[in-house]
Amino acid sequence: MGPNTRRFTTEGVAWIEKYSGILASLYGDPGQVAVANNSDVARMVREMKQSEAWNLWRGGKVLNMTYLGHILNCSKASAQSVWMDRLADLDQAARISSDEEVAKFAIEARIAFEKGI
């Protein structure tokens, strides 16, 4: 969500949640640490839902890299690491916002990226 934010993959977050009790016993439990400012997430979701790619997807169109690039602020030529960071931001926004439609979009966006559509 920002230049100084550290991101975990969806699998990494699931692992941490699964072993949170063990981690807390080993390292202490400092409590919840906010991953991203909720206003950042709200802004990302709002901007995404106002995009052409979102409207095409809601209309049943298959996502492609060009439209995803507009939402994720990167291009087809961007490095894979950039795409992975932006997709992680999208996953995080879906999780924090608890918006099922955004979660479905994030899944399909990742599939489109992996297929190179």
Give 5-11's long-range contacts (Cβ < 8 A, gap of 24+).
5/35, 5/36, 7/85, 7/88, 7/89, 7/92, 8/88, 9/88, 10/88, 10/91
Report the pLDDT averaged over residues 86-103.
90
Residue 36's pLDDT is what?
52
Share of the chain above pLDDT 70, in %: 85
pTM of the model: 0.64
pLDDT in tens, 8-55: 788 888 888 898 888 877 777 665 555 555 678 888 899 889 988 889
